[in-house]
Amino acid sequence: MSIAQASTLDTKAGPFTAIVATDGAVLASGWTASSAELVPLISPALRPKEVREKRDLGAVSTAIRTYHAGELNAIDDIPVRQSSGEFLSHAWDVLRKVPAGEPITYSDYAALAGRPAAVRAAASACARNAAALFVPCHRVLRIGGALGGFRWGLPVKRWLLEHEAS
């Protein structure tokens, strides 16, 4: 892939940037004002040679604004493209099916992904997820409800969970 587009939007949880392929699939996203911070998260097989800043990414920008305004399912139909091994790719697909407002534990996530004993692998899928929000790794918690980790900071994760619970 040679060229992708990026846009940063102000949200209630902070600046949010998405990098999108020319066909509209999200390659990387997160609560940062820097597309340069996101590029290394993209699999080398998918990493664009150039990222051009754009004011609006169409359906992706609309989904980001709408989600943060309270329409939690706005992100569900946005295509995402990530590349890794079979388990991670499957685990990311599974994560997209976890409903807003219904967080699960890492153990539950491993079981949903078909490998109940692979709790660390499930946690790794969350940690290696380049498309935050669209692949909602923030919906996975430790047993007992502790937040666990989150690339974009625990205050953002807390905000997202509270936003989805209301």
CATH of residue 133: 1.10.10.10
Task: Classify residue 137 by its DSSP letter.
Answer: G
pLDDT of 2 reads 85
pLDDT of 131 reads 98
62 shares its domain with 108: no
Domain of 56?
Answer: 3-69
Whole-angstrom distance, CA of residue 80 vs CA of residue 24: 8
pLDDT of 125 reads 93
pLDDT of 3 reads 95
12 shares its domain with 47: yes
Is there a catalytic annotation at residue 126? Answer: no
- How many DSSP H helices and E strands does the chain contain? 6, 6
99 shares its domain with 49: no
98 shares its domain with 57: no
Instruction: Give the predicted TM-score (pTM) of the model.
Output: 0.95
Residue among 128, 129, 31, 27 nearest 79 (CA): 27
Domain-ending residue, one of 69, 96, 117: 69
103 shares its domain with 44: no
Q: Print burial letters for 111-131: b (CB count within 10 Å at least 16), e (below 16).
A: bbbeeeebbebbbebbebbbb
The active-site residue out of 113, 137, 141, 161 is: 137
Q: What are the 10-residue block averages of pLDDT along the chain, 166 residues in total?
A: 92 97 97 97 96 97 97 97 89 95 95 92 94 97 90 96 94
